[in-house]
Amino acid sequence: MPLQFQFKKFFSLINKLPRLHFWLLILLFVILILISLIPHPEASNKKVTKELVLPENISTQVKKSIAVPQGQGSVESNNLYPEFSGNREAVITIKSGDTLSQIFSDQNIPAANLQEVLEADAEHIRLANLLPGQEIHLQIGPKNELLALKLVIDRATTLSFVLKDGEYLSKIETKKGEWRNNYYHGTINGSFYVSAKRSGLTSSQIQQISNALQDKLDFKRLRAGDTFKSLVAKQYIEGAYANESEVLAVIIERGSTAYTAFLSDDGRYYDKDGMGLTKAYRRYPVNGRPRISSPFNPRRLHPITKRVRPHNGTDFAVRTGTNVYSIGDGVVLRAGYHPAAGNYIVIKHGRKYTTRYLHLSKRLVTKGQRVAMGELIAKSGNTGSSTGAHLHYEFHINGKPVDAMKVSLPLSQEVPANKIKAFKATRDLALKEMGEL
Ligand SMILES: [Zn+2]
């Protein structure tokens, strides 16, 4: 096509545009020209042109945005008119296979920032294994430096990192929500699993019930006509079920015998008389009592920066390959690799307690797996940001790290004498809600 025709076509297209769009288009070209004239201190010209891409249908999209970042289908720019001298923001919804390093490189954030923010994440271990559906909010400065990152972990939890005095400070926020009790009951018809499922209990709740009573009752021996009752606490955040639940009480009647389990506030199940049903915890995640090379210390100072860098765990000086055991019955909440934490495992023991095992050389359990007290879960190592072979072990109560060597743990088989009154009061409340008292 001759050049002349192309111009004619172009001008006739321009004439068809609404007035506002025409002037916006002109404005856009002016901005484009100005930008191309501004000397960029850090990035090359190549980067600048990459950031500005015309939307395909400018006549319909011009009102929404003038420029969108290239190749970012799921990214929305919060700024109507991006200021290239100021900050920009991006919101990314994680899809399967997304990694933080890919997201940072898409946004031209320097690799050094990635390392720094991952270091700051060592105490949370959240950024290395992003889950589909999670949301990341980024605030990015004029030199593409990361100013702030916010990760919406789930309905209840938000983790944020903010650049302050050259370092990323992290903060985790948890919405308490509301726990409501739900009552389920039924009669055995088929297997316990099928019957319990029919009553509305989920697989994980049924698993909790069978775990609580596994040493007392052979579930295969339940017969048609036997009954079960269960009280389950469920967490709701802003009115919606947050997928967190805990079995509070169980009564299973096989013939004329009743099997009972009540959750105590120490996270373990006891029968109606306070005799332990699940095993006690152990103090050490390794055999013997190895030397502690660095104790739990919430006020530890960083050797170089002299800033407070809490040490949330206990470091055991053990050589690589040492057996690591779960300190209690539980479920593997998370397991993976993190640049700072190395190979790590997080285990949940009831609603209240979690334990973490870091810098491992080998993980022997996977996410979702049930583990018993004393079960071999890993081999210790020196992975991630670690300057020598050791095991870093953390104990959390309600999400807050505590000194694992000092925390009062349920180490005995029955409810201690000074707690039996409180246990019986909780038990009676549950029985009342189940219509048993
Ligand atoms: Zn440590």
Residue 124 amino acid letter: H
Of 44-58, 69-83, 302-316, minimum mean pLDDT range: 44-58
Same domain as 248, residue 166: no
Q: What is the mean pLDDT of residues 350-365?
A: 94
More confident residue, 44 or 360: 360
Where does the pLDDT of residue 220 fall: very low under 50, low under 70, confident under 90, or very high at 90 and above?
very high
Q: In the prediction, which pLDDT does 187 show?
A: 97
Per-residue pLDDT reduced to its tens digit, 244-303: 899 999 999 999 999 999 998 888 899 999 999 877 889 999 999 999 999 999 998 877
How many angstroms separate the CA atoms of 385 and 383, rounded? 7
Q: Would you say residue 243 has pLDDT above 70?
A: yes
Rounded to the nearest angstrom, the distance between the alpha carbon of 392 and the centre of ligand 1 is 4
Rounded to the nearest angstrom, the distance between the alpha carbon of 246 and the centre of ligand 1 is 31
More confident residue, 16 or 290: 290
Last residue of a domain, one of 25, 48, 68: 68
Rounded to the nearest angstrom, the distance between the alpha carbon of 293 and the centre of ligand 1 is 9
Give the torsion through C-alpha atoms of 77, 80, 85, 89, to 10 deg: -20
- The H or E element containing residue 347 is strand 342-349
Q: In the prediction, which pLDDT does 46 show?
A: 36
Rounded to the nearest angstrom, the distance between the alpha carbon of 339 and the centre of ligand 1 is 14
Taking CA atoms, 377 is separated from 23, 365, 410, in Å, by: 66, 6, 21
**Residue 79, class by beta-carbon neighbours within 10 Å (0-12 exposed, 13-18 middle, 19+ buried)?**
middle
The mean of the pLDDT values for the chain is 84
How many angstroms separate the CA atoms of 174 and 366, rounded? 25
CA 67 from centre of chain: 33
Q: In the prediction, which pLDDT does 306 show?
A: 77
Question: Is residue 287, in this structure, part of any structural domain at all?
Answer: no
Question: Is residue 407, in this structure, part of any structural domain at all?
Answer: no
Q: In the prediction, which pLDDT does 347 show?
A: 97
Q: In the prediction, which pLDDT does 346 show?
A: 98
Q: Would you say residue 199 has pLDDT above 60?
A: yes
Q: In the prediction, which pLDDT does 52 show?
A: 38
Question: Is residue 141, in this structure, part of any structural domain at all?
Answer: yes
Count the domains in the chain.
4
Rounded to the nearest angstrom, the distance between the alpha carbon of 310 and the centre of ligand 1 is 10
Q: In the prediction, which pLDDT does 56 show?
A: 39
Rounded to the nearest angstrom, the distance between the alpha carbon of 309 and the centre of ligand 1 is 11
Residue 422, Cβ neighbours under 10 Å: how many? Answer: 12
Rounded to the nearest angstrom, the distance between the alpha carbon of 313 and the centre of ligand 1 is 5
Rounded to the nearest angstrom, the distance between the alpha carbon of 384 and the centre of ligand 1 is 11
Q: What is the mean pLDDT of residues 180-196?
A: 96
> Residue 228: which residues within 8 A CB-CB, separation 6 or more?
185, 186, 188, 192, 195, 196, 199, 209, 250, 251, 252, 253
Same domain as 420, residue 276: yes
Nearest to 278 by CA among 363, 358, 361, 370: 370
Last residue of a domain, one of 12, 47, 68: 68
Question: Is residue 285, in this structure, part of any structural domain at all?
Answer: no
**Residue 312, class by beta-carbon neighbours within 10 Å (0-12 exposed, 13-18 middle, 19+ buried)?**
buried
Question: Is residue 144, in this structure, part of any structural domain at all?
Answer: yes
Q: In the prediction, which pLDDT does 88 show?
A: 92
Rounded to the nearest angstrom, the distance between the alpha carbon of 398 and the centre of ligand 1 is 20
Per-residue pLDDT reduced to its tens digit, 80-134: 544 555 889 999 999 999 999 999 999 999 999 999 999 999 989 999 989 999 9
Q: In the prediction, which pLDDT does 37 show?
A: 60
Rounded to the nearest angstrom, the distance between the alpha carbon of 131 and the centre of ligand 1 is 26
- Which CATH number goes with the domain that contains 245? 3.10.450.350
Q: In the prediction, which pLDDT does 274 show?
A: 94
Rounded to the nearest angstrom, the distance between the alpha carbon of 340 and the centre of ligand 1 is 11
Same domain as 190, residue 96: no
Rounded to the nearest angstrom, the distance between the alpha carbon of 114 and the centre of ligand 1 is 21
Rounded to the nearest angstrom, the distance between the alpha carbon of 32 and the centre of ligand 1 is 51
Rounded to the nearest angstrom, the distance between the alpha carbon of 291 and the centre of ligand 1 is 13
Same domain as 197, residue 140: no
Rounded to the nearest angstrom, the distance between the alpha carbon of 219 and the centre of ligand 1 is 42
Same domain as 87, residue 54: no
Question: Is residue 286, in this structure, part of any structural domain at all?
Answer: no
Same domain as 104, residue 183: no
- Which CATH number goes with the domain that contains 365? 2.70.70.10
Same domain as 305, residue 361: yes
Same domain as 214, residue 123: no
pLDDT cut 90: percent of the chain above it: 63
Rounded to the nearest angstrom, the distance between the alpha carbon of 407 and the centre of ligand 1 is 17
Nearest to 92 by CA among 131, 48, 119, 51: 131
Question: Is residue 408, in this structure, part of any structural domain at all?
Answer: no
Nearest to 173 by CA among 162, 189, 184, 186: 162
Rounded to the nearest angstrom, the distance between the alpha carbon of 128 and the centre of ligand 1 is 18
Q: Would you say residue 11 has pLDDT above 80?
A: no
Rounded to the nearest angstrom, the distance between the alpha carbon of 314 and the centre of ligand 1 is 6
Last residue of a domain, one of 175, 200, 220: 175
Q: In the prediction, which pLDDT does 14 show?
A: 56
Same domain as 298, residue 247: no
Nearest to 274 by CA among 263, 284, 282: 263
Per-residue pLDDT reduced to its tens digit, 27-41: 676 666 666 665 544
Per-residue pLDDT reduced to its tens digit, 373-403: 999 999 999 999 988 999 999 999 988 999 9
Question: Is residue 409, in this structure, part of any structural domain at all?
Answer: no
Rounded to the nearest angstrom, the distance between the alpha carbon of 359 and the centre of ligand 1 is 9
How many angstroms separate the CA atoms of 373 and 411, rounded? 12
**Residue 328, class by beta-carbon neighbours within 10 Å (0-12 exposed, 13-18 middle, 19+ buried)?**
buried
Q: What are phi and psi of 286, to 5 degrees?
A: -130, 165
pLDDT cut 70: percent of the chain above it: 80
CA 98 from centre of chain: 15
- Residue 4 belongs to what domain range? 1-68
Q: In the prediction, which pLDDT does 278 show?
A: 77
Q: What are phi and psi of 362, to 5 degrees?
A: -145, 135
Same domain as 398, residue 296: yes
Q: In the prediction, which pLDDT does 58 show?
A: 36
Of 54-63, 147-156, 344-353, 415-424, minimum mean pLDDT range: 54-63
Nearest to 266 by CA among 418, 419, 425: 419
Taking CA atoms, 143 is separated from 35, 46, 216, in Å, by: 15, 14, 64
How many angstroms separate the CA atoms of 332 and 354, rounded? 10
Q: In the prediction, which pLDDT does 16 show?
A: 62
Same domain as 99, residue 61: no
Same domain as 236, residue 298: no
